[in-house]
Structure 1
């Protein structure tokens, strides 16, 4: 549709007398004009008609006696309304559609997100570190549902293709309109035909809007959405208005628009047309086709939605209750772990207890806080809603000074936007002064603009991130950045420590530590969005408004098109390059792995003369990385070239338009400089957008890892009405306790027992019987799924976790120490302990003398995880640390397993002293250490199979008696083996003294057949002895080597000693053990 020009009329009435068709009424017209000019002047002042008014219109309107005569010469009266309607609608069309689509898209994103929240049962509010609320978990198993529309507009692929092709047809119709205008302008160039600004804005702007709708429809899922439907509906209404105005204008008298002719009726346009031309017919035809395409989109959308209504009626609504899992079976949890057939995470059993404490992460689906393998896909509203959790840690709500800094930083951002506009304006003003075209030039004579140049320099001094304003903003932002980093890091650290044991047992330490360190990434992300993305968008918006108001619509249109395609191409190519960069990163890591592996295996390479192989392997790894690096560099150069090409095309168009307007006198040279300077300033942020987009993407991923870590919640927490346990006597009672780490394999099945205060109870049994689980439940690492655990009659779940753990001391089997001094580790259990108390505890644990033998004594660094200490030393430090804590309940998990016999005796004495007046639970595999316990519980398959004292259990001849018999036999075998080994060592020493004499004897005396037979018998006996256990067989192997003479010397003395009985043969216990193992060897 082309906006047309109404024919201009002369402002003088006397020219009418020269036209023959006015001759009959010339006098009447003149008199009528003079008579009615005064009475109609008031109406004309408020008329919608433009000024100056054509005089022949005034002659016709009041004097209508001969209207048939004048209608053929006055088309402007009937066309002015249609022309203005057409022009206004054309300019408003793309702006209205774009604004409507953005609003509809925003509303849809918010409403669909709220719909997801409605589908999830309400959970009690969780509080993070410092009492700040944590976000609730949501079930995003499917696509977000569109409110009020069944199946969320999730049309099938053929239906979606139908919408896409119809949209392609609409985009093609605008392309056809543009082609028609270009061809028409070329054909009618001699007449100076041009459509004008309004049609140009309409066609190009609408093309961009519909291209955006099409791109979003193709890329997003589900699509099309309600936002598309609303936009199409409004577009169809506007198309009707445009068609009506076009028909009203083109079917009446009108003039062709020409270059430079304003479309306000002031001047004549091109040739007068009384009917539609072939160009206008073509144009209107394309418009009609476009309208029918829009109608088809609306019709098919409504039809497909209507067809899905029966499906929705057939679906029964599911009402959630407390027994439903938040993460349904077969679906991935929020962190990626599949729940499988078991109860989902968060489901509550009918008895009010959780079905299980663990919801571990599956290996194939890493946790959300682990490093993702691809960019997460979320809607913008989901990001905003999720990142709202960080607001309490980022906003300094208690520090008024930092709040003032925050406000000043934002004011500086807006001030910088004003400077960005003032710099090109001032440059243009200086140019006009130098060219003599400014209003300040007297008689258009140039002069030296000292003040203007000084002001320009001042503006440049404040401009940019390196200017005074930018530097001030960076300085003011430093304390805010440090505050947010400090709060985020400390809060994340506290949060991870507050998580339950199941999280720490299934975590990857490296991934957790990496996620904990993402506070800086979040700061960078927020700072980048606030001080880079936001200013860039503001600059683009200001540029559009400025060029539209100060210059004309052509400039604003070019900037909008360039910005759209620049940003779109950048995002597309950055996403394409992400996979290339990932391959290059993997190739670089592989190169490092090959290099490190080869260097670490230096001796192996030399053993097998594999230098050439390693050289080739490393060369191939380097070449692979270089190929990937080449693709990364090539793709970056390609992206930069395309970005620059897009911007240069826009710059060329604006330069040509501005240069033409300067030549024709419409603009000044200063305007050209202003435009060129402003466009150059816009190029910087756009060029940076590629790198900036990738940086934001990486920071978003990193900060999301911290976000997911914050969303992890402890499975064992205090109840809202929990009370403290002020004192503890030490009574422990387990009442029908059931627990399982995995529902398929229960760990405890109805466990019940009682420990009286001040008694010692030992837990024995095979591995996996539930001994460690008993400790974990008592220490509140887990909650029992049924039954109760009581301390002094108080259910441990009814009192606070801290008050329970305060009265319990634990000596683990594997002691881990901090990489600090011994004194630091010893005082860790009670920081208020004095040095004298530490010394007494270490003496009780038989470690004081050992510590004092170290050069630095108690200030000795123990190394990472205490690796500089031996196993026995670490165990004694752990016992001393527990003694310093002075708890009422002590849990010993094989506390003497890593100690030698002598030290074990000292520790047993210290533990007997420590256990007086305290309740002690001991897990033991060496039954000799628990013979003095008041009660021994034999656990089997999660139950108490036997209980009693040591003598009582031996008298029962049950499981405990069998375990005791096996350990006694093993101990005797070990003792026999030790005796054999000691005697073999003695014989070896004796043989070394008599080796020379023995060798001479062997050389002089011939070997008899009887001696050979005797040696074979001895070897057979010793080979039979070698079938014993490793500990018992070791000395026999040495004795066999003596008899065989493997030492290279004569061993007659040793053999003689064996034959004479100096070295005994295996004891009956050993022979019994041999008999038991013989069938297995056979």
Structure 2
């Protein structure tokens, strides 16, 4: 049996177990670096899982028998036997865990299969060799139980070989053909065109694992590490060196206090050790304070860099992105990702330092008290890591569901607040409260499952920790009883062991939090990955007279099959006043957005003064100065009236602002307020009416004086009298300016040079002056509801 084998045989078995363990815990991408990481596909996973579990229990039984016999003799087991059985127990356990992981699409790879074969072959050789008469130098195995265990072990190894050898032979002659990476599907939510709400675990599956996903988070690196900033880089490096020094001095401090007890126990002088311990404590206190000051500055700088950088990135995105993005989703994505930015600090200053402290403490304990402590730590760390891995996976699944329900809850909340008027008018406030209560209840239920999952895995970790602590203390008490350890050793062990497992516990507790932060940051990562959909060559617009030409222009919105604008061609002369009318959904507003370069046409070209605007830089100052657009619903910033009007021309004088507001028929309304032009307009202009906000937008336009004016339902909130006055000022102000207006008000079209009636797909149904179209209709004896006199709204 294993207990009685020669030491060199035990060493070979142990090394083989270590090899199998290493291949089990090595990530597949690392295995593939050696060219032997391809999959073994024609094996029965369930059968192999059962066989490895059987081997695990066999080796565990042998190990416990080994410990029991040593305890009965009041001694320690053979270190060679303990090492080999420990390696084999952990190796078979980790391989069973890998085979049982159904998320791993191919847990059987050539490296692992070869290591399994080697393990089984050595075990069969040892069983046969020790069972042959005269074939062993150690006493024969007399115990029937041991013989039965050997038979079971041999049978299990044979069955594993029969399972994997044919698969290895069949796959060795097959060229490794990595499966093509599946393109990421859009979010399962049709409304989530930008995939901000995509299931991150589904993304992991698409990418082929966590490592490819982690590489995508490199877009955050510019906010995590101060690239190109020497002062902050020096602070960062200094903080790291301070933490390393602190770890070393903390261990030395524990050794110094232990030496005080040993000196006191032997009646020696304790002053030297006492002074050393106090000095180390003082140094540690100073290092912690300096580190805290440096890290606080690093965190503040990172927060500033993240806030300004992400805000600049989002505002710099093209109009297509902003037309599809939900501001609530964007705000939540930024807020959720704030914790992730601290991840680099956590890894370097917390987890890396913790790991370094664990290695130093473990090395010191093993050097003082022998390799048996290493065996105890190997068991505890392995089982803790497996429990943590499984717990993290389950927690990630539960957290993804919680995250989705939080998004649903926030959307429901926002809909209720923004749509309060509709709810009140329809007497549906109680109904909306009930709906919100249902969404919140579902969220609470899922959070309860998440908490239960976390607590269950914490319990498993605590049980493993208890077993490790019990084993470690039992070993140290045995050494003390044998006279191999002093009182100082016991105190040192207690201190270092407690610190060691406190650090391991901290690591296992924070890893799930890191996964949560990763999942939280995924939506913002997808935003930062995006590039502008408006491609340009960086040319500048040379706008002269303001002509506009569209040649075979088509456009289809994402997630739609039917084009909104379908092969439209038209030409507008400089200085023309053109009204676009037609039913809803005929592409009128879309056409204006294409001209403004909110998005690019699917096909065709748009020319301003003969220049293809797709070649114009999207941030062209001349383009935005020469082409001005007034949206149907203007946005008013929460600042003064003066600053809002100056959005049209940042360097405008006060007199220019006053003149623009007079043309927009809003000057008298402004000066009638107590603050005049310094009055705050409130959140989205809440202190002004809808018509007043439209006139503020007109004032911006008058102040800007563009060469091409584009208006989208510009007078929808104005009363008829103000509407005619503002439009009259518009026509008079922009006599030589090209004006294009989208409207449902046919009365407005009477004053324009040209009226274009659009039909389905943006097709031009009628084109001409208002009078020409009326005359044409009269001649054809047809009726056009769009142009009938007396019908003021289309």
- Contact (CA 8 Å) 2:41, 2:167: kept in 1 or not? no
Among residues 106, 109, 134, which one is paired with 1:225 in the alignment?
A: 109
Asked whether 1:386 is paired with 2:216, we answer yes
Q: Please show how residues 355-394 of structure 1 align to structure 2 within 5 Å.
A: 362-363=190-191, 368-370=195-197, 377=204, 379-394=209-224
Offset of 1:743 from its aligned partner? 5.5
Residue by residue, what CA displacement relative to the aligned partner does 1:188-235 show, whole Å, maximum 9, x if unpaired? x56x78641110121123212221121122123322234422432453
* 2:196 partner SS: coil
Q: Please show how residues 1013-1032 of structure 1 align to structure 2 within 5 Å.
A: none
- Contact (CA 8 Å) 2:239, 2:294: kept in 1 or not? yes
Q: Answer with 376-385 or 835-844: which moved more.
A: 376-385
Asked whether 1:805 is paired with 2:617, we answer no
- Contact (CA 8 Å) 2:113, 2:164: kept in 1 or not? yes
Asked whether 1:417 is paired with 2:247, we answer yes
Asked whether 1:553 is paired with 2:371, we answer yes
**Alignment-derived partner of residue 142 in structure 2:** 278
Q: Answer with 284-293 or 621-630: which moved more.
A: 621-630
Q: TM-score, normalised by structure 1?
A: 0.64
**Alignment-derived partner of residue 62 in structure 2:** 177
- Contact (CA 8 Å) 2:21, 2:91: kept in 1 or not? yes
Offset of 1:404 from its aligned partner? 1.4
Label 1:285 to 1:570 Cα distance change in 2 as closer, same or farther (>3 A).
same
Offset of 1:873 from its aligned partner? 1.3
Report the Cα distance in structure 2 between the residues aligned to 1:223 and 1:631, rounded to whole angstroms.
Answer: 29
**Alignment-derived partner of residue 361 in structure 2:** 543
Q: Please show how residues 181-192 of structure 1 align to structure 2 within 5 Å.
A: 181-182=66-67, 184-185=69-70, 189=72
Report the Cα distance in structure 2 between the residues aligned to 1:433 and 1:728, rounded to whole angstroms.
Answer: 94
Label 1:960 to 1:698 Cα distance change in 2 as closer, same or farther (>3 A).
farther
* 2:342 partner SS: helix
Q: Please show how residues 1033-1072 of structure 1 align to structure 2 within 5 Å.
A: none
Label 1:94 to 1:694 Cα distance change in 2 as closer, same or farther (>3 A).
same
Asked whether 1:85 is paired with 2:8, we answer yes
* 1:511 partner SS: helix
**Alignment-derived partner of residue 704 in structure 2:** 885
Report the Cα distance in structure 2 between the residues aligned to 1:298 and 1:449, rounded to whole angstroms.
Answer: 63
Offset of 1:664 from its aligned partner? 1.9
Q: Answer with 794-803 or 379-388: which moved more.
A: 379-388
Residue by residue, what CA displacement relative to the aligned partner does 1:584-624 show, whole Å, maximum 9, x if unpaired? 9979x999x99x999x99xx99xx9x99x999999999999
Offset of 1:878 from its aligned partner? 0.7
Q: TM-score, normalised by structure 2?
A: 0.85
Report the Cα distance in structure 1 between the residues aligned to 2:438 and 2:302, rounded to whole angstroms.
Answer: 46
* 1:539 partner SS: helix
* 1:875 partner SS: helix
* 1:734 partner SS: strand
**Alignment-derived partner of residue 1053 in structure 1:** none
Q: What stretches of structure 2 of length at least 5 have no aligned partner? A: none
Asked whether 1:527 is paired with 2:345, we answer yes
Bigger RCO (CA 8 Å, 6+ sep): 2
Among residues 696, 702, 721, which one is paired with 1:902 in the alignment?
A: 721
Aligned-residue CA RMSD (Å): 4.5
* 2:544 partner SS: coil
* 2:744 partner SS: coil
Among residues 675, 679, 696, which one is paired with 2:514 in the alignment?
A: 696
Offset of 1:571 from its aligned partner? 4.8
Report the Cα distance in structure 2 between the residues aligned to 1:769 and 1:824, rounded to whole angstroms.
Answer: 36
Offset of 1:634 from its aligned partner? 7.4
- Contact (CA 8 Å) 2:200, 2:522: kept in 1 or not? no
Among residues 739, 745, 764, which one is paired with 1:944 in the alignment?
A: 764
- Contact (CA 8 Å) 1:524, 1:699: kept in 2 or not? no
**Alignment-derived partner of residue 273 in structure 2:** 452
- Contact (CA 8 Å) 2:113, 2:168: kept in 1 or not? no
Label 1:618 to 1:800 Cα distance change in 2 as closer, same or farther (>3 A).
closer
Offset of 1:312 from its aligned partner? 9.2
Q: Answer with 809-818 or 648-657: which moved more.
A: 648-657
Label 1:284 to 1:686 Cα distance change in 2 as closer, same or farther (>3 A).
same
Report the Cα distance in structure 2 between the residues aligned to 1:749 and 1:579, rounded to whole angstroms.
Answer: 44
Q: Please show how residues 313-462 of structure 1 align to structure 2 within 5 Å.
A: 333=185, 335-337=186-188, 362-363=190-191, 368-370=195-197, 377=204, 379-436=209-266, 446-461=267-282
Among residues 757, 762, 775, which one is paired with 1:955 in the alignment?
A: 775
- How many pairs does the alignment contain? 776
Label 1:667 to 1:743 Cα distance change in 2 as closer, same or farther (>3 A).
closer
- Contact (CA 8 Å) 2:554, 2:565: kept in 1 or not? yes
Report the Cα distance in structure 2 between the residues aligned to 1:303 and 1:235, rounded to whole angstroms.
Answer: 17
Report the Cα distance in structure 2 between the residues aligned to 1:897 and 1:497, rounded to whole angstroms.
Answer: 28
Q: Answer with 924-933 or 613-622: which moved more.
A: 613-622
Label 1:362 to 1:801 Cα distance change in 2 as closer, same or farther (>3 A).
same
**Alignment-derived partner of residue 732 in structure 2:** 913
* 2:789 partner SS: helix
- Contact (CA 8 Å) 1:369, 1:707: kept in 2 or not? no
Report the Cα distance in structure 2 between the residues aligned to 1:307 and 1:693, rounded to whole angstroms.
Answer: 40
**Alignment-derived partner of residue 259 in structure 1:** none
* 2:750 partner SS: coil
**Alignment-derived partner of residue 650 in structure 1:** 468
Residue by residue, what CA displacement relative to the aligned partner does 1:1004-1058 show, whole Å, maximum 9, x if unpaired? xxxxxxxxxxxxxxxxxxxxxxxxxxxxxxxxxxxxxxxxxxxxxxxxxxxxxxx
Residue by residue, what CA displacement relative to the aligned partner does 1:849-908 show, whole Å, maximum 9, x if unpaired? 221111111111122222322222111111110111111100011212322222122212
Q: What stretches of structure 1 of length at least 5 have no aligned partner? A: 5-81, 112-145, 255-274, 319-325, 338-360, 437-445, 975-1082
Q: Please show how residues 980-995 of structure 1 align to structure 2 within 5 Å.
A: none
Label 1:90 to 1:414 Cα distance change in 2 as closer, same or farther (>3 A).
farther
- Contact (CA 8 Å) 1:826, 1:838: kept in 2 or not? yes
Label 1:298 to 1:728 Cα distance change in 2 as closer, same or farther (>3 A).
farther
**Alignment-derived partner of residue 994 in structure 1:** none
Label 1:815 to 1:164 Cα distance change in 2 as closer, same or farther (>3 A).
same
Report the Cα distance in structure 2 between the residues aligned to 1:620 and 1:923, rounded to whole angstroms.
Answer: 42
* 1:802 partner SS: coil
Label 1:513 to 1:665 Cα distance change in 2 as closer, same or farther (>3 A).
same
- Contact (CA 8 Å) 1:732, 1:792: kept in 2 or not? yes
Offset of 1:397 from its aligned partner? 2.3
Report the Cα distance in structure 1 between the residues aligned to 2:555 and 2:392, rounded to whole angstroms.
Answer: 51
**Alignment-derived partner of residue 734 in structure 1:** 550
Asked whether 1:215 is paired with 2:117, we answer no
* 1:750 partner SS: strand
Report the Cα distance in structure 1 between the residues aligned to 2:438 and 2:595, rounded to whole angstroms.
Answer: 57
Label 1:802 to 1:174 Cα distance change in 2 as closer, same or farther (>3 A).
same
Higher Rg: 1
**Alignment-derived partner of residue 107 in structure 1:** 30
Residue by residue, what CA displacement relative to the aligned partner does 1:233-272 show, whole Å, maximum 9, x if unpaired? 4535664786699689984555xxxxxxxxxxxxxxxxxx
**Alignment-derived partner of residue 474 in structure 1:** 292
- Contact (CA 8 Å) 2:395, 2:512: kept in 1 or not? no
Offset of 1:730 from its aligned partner? 0.4
Report the Cα distance in structure 2 between the residues aligned to 1:617 and 1:807, rounded to whole angstroms.
Answer: 49
* 1:790 partner SS: strand
**Alignment-derived partner of residue 1026 in structure 1:** none
**Alignment-derived partner of residue 490 in structure 1:** 308
* 2:604 partner SS: strand
Report the Cα distance in structure 2 between the residues aligned to 1:921 and 1:473, rounded to whole angstroms.
Answer: 63
Among residues 79, 84, 88, which one is paired with 1:202 in the alignment?
A: 84
Report the Cα distance in structure 1 between the residues aligned to 2:140 and 2:724, rounded to whole angstroms.
Answer: 115
* 1:661 partner SS: helix
Report the Cα distance in structure 1 between the residues aligned to 2:595 and 2:451, rounded to whole angstroms.
Answer: 59
- Contact (CA 8 Å) 2:21, 2:95: kept in 1 or not? no
Residue by residue, what CA displacement relative to the aligned partner does 1:383-405 show, whole Å, maximum 9, x if unpaired? 44122222233222222121112
* 1:938 partner SS: strand
Report the Cα distance in structure 2 between the residues aligned to 1:316 and 1:678, rounded to whole angstroms.
Answer: 47
Residue by residue, what CA displacement relative to the aligned partner does 1:472-492 show, whole Å, maximum 9, x if unpaired? 223212333233333333332
* 1:738 partner SS: strand
Label 1:235 to 1:308 Cα distance change in 2 as closer, same or farther (>3 A).
closer
